[in-house]
Amino acid sequence: MTQLITPLEPLTFPLTGSHLIEASAGTGKTFTITALYVRLVLGHGNASGVEKTFANARPLTPPEILVVTFTDAATRDLRSRIRTRLAEAAEYFRKNPDNTPNLPKGQDFLHDLRADFSPDSWAGCAYKLQLASEWMDESAVSTIHGWCNRMLREHAFDSQSLFTRSMETDQAELLAETVRDYWRNHYYPLSTQDIAQVTAYWPDPPALEKKVLPLLKHVNLLPSAEAPEQILQQTRTSMTITLGTLKEPWNNWTDELEILFQNATDKKRINLKKFREQYYKPWLAKIRDWAGSPEQKALDIGKGWERLTPEGMAEIWIDGPPPVHPAFENLPRLQKALNNLPDAYENLLTHATHWVSSRFSATQKKRALMGFDDLLTDLDAALASENGERLARMIRTQFPVALIDEFQDTDPVQYRIFDQIYEIAKNRSDCALILIGDPKQAIYAFRGADVHTYLKARKSVQERLYSLGTNYRSTKDMVSASNRCFEFIESQETGNGAFLFRDGEHNPVPFHPVRAKGRDDRFLINNQVIPALTAAIPSPADNQLSSIGAYLDTFSEICATRIVNWLNLAQSGRAGFSGTSGSFIPLRPGDIAILVNNGKEAMAIRQSLGRRGIHSVYLSDRDSVYQSPQATEIHRWLSACAEPDNDRLLRAALSTETLGLSFADIEELNQDENAWENRVIQFMNYRKIWQLQGVLPMLRRILLDFGCNERLLDNYTSPSGINGERILTDLLHLAELLQQASHTLEGEHTLVRFLEDQCDFPAGEAENRKVRLESDANLVQVITIHKAKGLEYPVVFLPFICTTRIIKQDDSPLKWHDENGNLQISLKANTKLLEQAERNRLAEDVRKVYVAITRARHAVWMGLAPVVQLHSSAIGHLLGLDPSGSSELLAAVENLARDTPSIALEISPQASNIRFASVPTTGHTIVARIPVRSPKENWWISSYSGLHITRKTLTTYPQPAISDDSAQTENLMEKLSDLLLPDSPEILGTEPMHRFFKGAGPGTFLHEILEWMAGYGFAAILENPAALKETILRRCKMHKWESWVQSLEEWMKALLETPLLPESTTRQGHHGSGNLRLRDLKNYRTEMEFWFETRNVDLNHLDRIVTTYTLGNRNRPALLPEKINGILKGFMDLVFEHEGKYFIADYKSNWLGTRNDAYSVEAMDEAVRDHRYDLQYSLYLFALHRLLQSRLPDYDYNRHVGGVIYLFMRGISAPSAGIHFERPPAQLMIELDLLFRGVTDRGTSL
């Protein structure tokens, strides 16, 4: 018998005891919950006929009314709906009754509710409702996990739980660690023979973890098992006995059969076309070899399994009755026995699951950790403990009323929790438990939800079962079509009903047609109301769609074509929604939802839409963002930023799709040395941002500099079909994750390795790793049926409704329910178990189809095709197809649509390449005015490398919003006229220093070696040359310059021996230091940084002063006419003291020619003028001058400053020793001091 169901009336529904409300899709479940909530707040008690009794009905506050649902999104939505409903009710109770219409009873809930209270109490009711509305932030509307966590925390003593436990949302690593512990503890001690058998099942710990994971939630259903060593020994013993018994008679039998067949052949008693000697002799030989080998298990005789049987003999025997022999009778039994030999797999996996589950829980408790499942199991265990009754009583007192939404998605643990608290079967009068759900929408078995648990609750409430039977969501035609889809099979006298639960007259999940309230708006195409359900079916003559692949390809194109056609009609006002007032709203992409089963189907339809110019969004993407192509691109960017002088890494970064450089741009970098060096500087600047501000600002700067944001958002689609919004969303998401990771990681290379690990092993369920929705704009929505549950859409497309996946032999573990509705699990399949599991699968798939069809307000379009296993699909079941009925698909659909105008057939639909003719928006876009001139900051930090010389016309790129004046950057800027790619061919010359690579990268390389030498100690280097060689080797390996190690070592040693002031250098009367070498220096500082103030310094004035007092006043390139105001900073390579005088030395790697004579005094002077090094060393000298002036009491420039030495490293073998020396007169320091203090004339301040 079917359980009696009472139609629910929100105003008279009892508010004590335990009750179950079955709410079909679209029947106002949320409205009912909010209505009951309003009654509870007002204390509107139970009803008895017409009379209302409130004596025992106490008004409740939001913290006392427990409302439980299953997702955070549903919780937020439900809390908002309840708040709104309370506010509306408060407003209604405040209204003057003269201003409200006198409606018939039953038409308006608030009108009828207010009528149950005396007018004198209306103001008080309004106050209670308003207070409750404002109190909703503290309401007990929660997810099941959130509520369990709260109970464990608030009732820690009674639940015997810790006060503080950390919630671990991603337990993947802990589980992997536990499985590795199991492997070490139980498999390492095994013999070689045993470990070989274990690794045949799972070769490594990750493979074992994959097998154990789906069993952990059901470990209590598994039997106990012995340790692996005992399991393997017992299996081996049993195997030996079984094989011996099976093999024993076959040696004799094969001999007898061979004689039998030979005689029959000689006497021509067999059909020699079907049974020849070359057939049976190999079969018998294989059986004989198998029987003679004690350890051989497998036996493969091909067709012999069929021929060497009584039936096989009867087919080939042509003279008299076929022979009778025990071998023929036993061969089928042998085949079956060999397929069911003793196997350790099941027991080994059972033992591993028990051990891992126990150790995992123990480790969690030891570390004070808990996962989501632990919240439920811990509260369930606490309620079942000795203190359980006390805990249940306290929770009942705290929450006298509980409403459990989406109860069809419950599981046995959740049900036990509420049953132990509210005692459902007892129907307690001191509390209320109201369960709301719909078994027809129970589709979350893969998460542990169990519709049979719902049915147990249904049975426990007995006659206290209510239903909502009117659909408020969809049009009348849509409701009619939906009803027909399920009534068609439900109404048949034979079979198990629509939802496969009918057993004779008993059907706990029947299909009851719902009534339709209807809608005011209609969906029109060309001014015609289209059928609510359209079934697109290929012609019966088209037999090309039997494979799932062909079905996906074909119907994704057909579906996309239909969508494009409708949207194009909408552009001209011929497709959309009309209201009763004559209004018309065109169909928009956002009105369309395409429901799919998985990501593969989503990709197929999205690609078809994309080819037609329709953008879509996949709302069910659960992949890790580390698996996206953008993760690989960011890895290349980070690698290049970490090593900007690494040519290979920089080229890889610049070649990424998102940066948008064309092949011509990349080729230009190969040809234009200036452009390449600017890219090097650009990525060095990025590294500086990374070091000073973080990886997130750096990545945002890259996106800005390369114009990625604008390009990706301008209807961009990558060659792989990914739209620009998706790409940009993933890039920004990854940038945020890397910024978070950088807080615990030290250094750029560590973060690069972190990203590599995440890309290689993206496991884990952390929510922040999952790809984010790229847009909530007006796009076609592609969503899985599971994710769409609870949502509604104007138009729904089901292009792949025929796809299914039947349960197979290797689908372990198998789950099914016994006759009592209890979940069972098996690690090995047999025919009976497969049938039970397959029936469970089909029943859930039917419920998925119900969910899919009932999402639509106006129309559903579905694609049907005679695919393989169509009869095993949910839609095949609803159409009444049998295994041989796929060819009768058209007839079955016609039968379904008969006498139902709301269902239409579209036969032989065709795809086309029509594109979406999107009409651009007509609104006026306000554009910001572009400034005519770019105002400069009034105060900023400058450096020598930032001063611009008139002759240089270098290509510029957007610079970061910080001043990057590191020593490396200055060195790079100094070399812009001396460019060559770092991996360019070696330069012809006689000595290594002339042949060594030139350009910014090699220059920085040499500077870094000299800086290291200074730190190690110039003199110490000569005492320990091995340290120098090791350092050079390590650095050369980074650039693949190992062949240069010896030459560089000799070069650096020669630099240490080079006279810094040879006798030939006598400019300006400086004598007495001709024997000074780097190795002799005792007092020195490297990379000394300086800062000094600049007050509106006119660079033309600075240029004139420096030119006057340096290099004999000879001509040189002029500075651009600018001003600097703020701070001037810089770095000096080397500052040292010798014989009471202070010198500045600067290393220059400039390449002036292929021979030593290219480094004459005159040539070096020309290089200094050309690069304006005179300006650089004048500023350096001025910084040293100010430092000494502040530190030495008797400071005198002429006595204490020795001058500047510019060491052209490639010229140390020349007669000049590569030394450019100068000590400008003291007057230069005086003039510079006045200039930088803002004084043009003595005593006159600007």
Q: Is 27 annotated as a binding residue?
A: yes
Query: Whole-angstrom distance between the N-terminal and C-terminal Cα of the chain?
Result: 104
H or E segment to which residue 65 belongs: strand 65-69
Instruction: Look at the block and give the residue holding tokens 């007002």.
Output: 42
Please tell me the distance from the alpha carbon of residue 14 to that of residue 17, in angstroms, as a whole number: 8
- DSSP structural state of residue 431: S
Please tell me the distance from the alpha carbon of residue 949 to that of residue 967, in angstroms, as a whole number: 20
Q: DSSP E strands: which ranges in 1058-1169?
A: 1083-1098, 1123-1138, 1141-1148
Q: 1225 to each of 251, 538, 1094, 1188, 1202, how far by Cα in Å?
A: 114, 97, 22, 16, 11
Instruction: Look at the block and give the residue holding tokens 């070899």.
Output: 289
Q: 1071 to each of 599, 646, 1063, 1217, how far by Cα in Å?
A: 82, 44, 8, 16
Inter-helix orientation angle 629-642/748-760, to 10°: 160
Nearest CA among 1099, 1102, 1210 for reference residue 1147: 1210
Q: Is 25 annotated as a binding residue?
A: yes
Backbone φ, ψ for residue 824 (5° rounding): -125, 155
Please tell me the distance from the alpha carbon of residue 807 to that of residue 786, in angstroms, as a whole number: 19
Facing residues of 781 across strands?
593, 617
Contact criterion met (CB below 8 Å) for 576 and 584: yes
Q: Is 1007 annotated as a binding residue?
A: yes
Cα 28 to its chain centre, rounded Å, is: 35
> Which residue among 1146, 1165, 1174, 1196 is the active-site one?
1146
Q: Is 789 annotated as a binding residue?
A: no
Instruction: Look at the block and give the residue holding tokens 């990379």.
Output: 1087
- 245-249 — which CB contacts under 8 Å span 24+ positions? 246/334, 246/337, 246/338, 247/290, 247/291, 247/292, 247/294, 249/326, 249/327, 249/330
Q: Is 170 annotated as a binding residue?
A: no
Q: What does the angle CA 928 – CA 933 – CA 936 come to, to the nearest 5 degrees?
A: 105
Q: Is 1146 annotated as a binding residue?
A: yes
Please tell me the distance from the alpha carbon of residue 302 to that of residue 1051, in angstroms, as a whole number: 77
Please tell me the distance from the alpha carbon of residue 847 to that of residue 323, in angstroms, as a whole number: 55
Determine whether 938 is exposed, middle or buried from the number of CB atoms within 10 Å of its CB (0-12, 13-18, 19+): exposed
Q: Is 26 annotated as a binding residue?
A: yes
1146 an active-site residue?
Answer: yes
Q: 1009 to each of 130, 712, 1012, how far by Cα in Å?
A: 76, 43, 5
H or E segment to which residue 678 belongs: helix 673-692
Q: How many helices (H) and strands (E) does the chain have?
A: 46, 34
H or E segment to which residue 596 belongs: strand 592-596
Q: Is 137 annotated as a binding residue?
A: no
For residue 1060, give every residue at least 6 positions away whose Cβ sits within 8 Å of its Cβ, in sequence order, or none: 1073, 1076, 1077, 1078, 1143, 1145, 1205, 1207, 1219
Contact criterion met (CB below 8 Å) for 1142 and 1188: yes
Determine whether 268 is exposed, middle or buried from the number of CB atoms within 10 Å of its CB (0-12, 13-18, 19+): exposed
The three-class DSSP label of residue 1103 is: helix
Q: Is 1073 annotated as a binding residue?
A: no
Which tokens hold the place of 1182?
Answer: 């001025």
The three-class DSSP label of residue 1202 is: strand
Contact criterion met (CB below 8 Å) for 532 and 477: yes
Q: What does the angle CA 1105 – CA 1088 – CA 1023 come to, to the nearest 5 degrees?
A: 125
Please tell me the distance from the alpha carbon of residue 87 to that of residue 107, in angstroms, as a whole number: 20
Instruction: Look at the block and give the residue holding tokens 């997702």.
Output: 71
**Residues marked as binding?**
23-30, 1007, 1133, 1146
**Residues marked as binding for ATP?**
23-30
Q: Which active-site residues does the annotation give?
A: 1146
**Residues marked as binding for Mg(2+)?**
1007, 1133, 1146
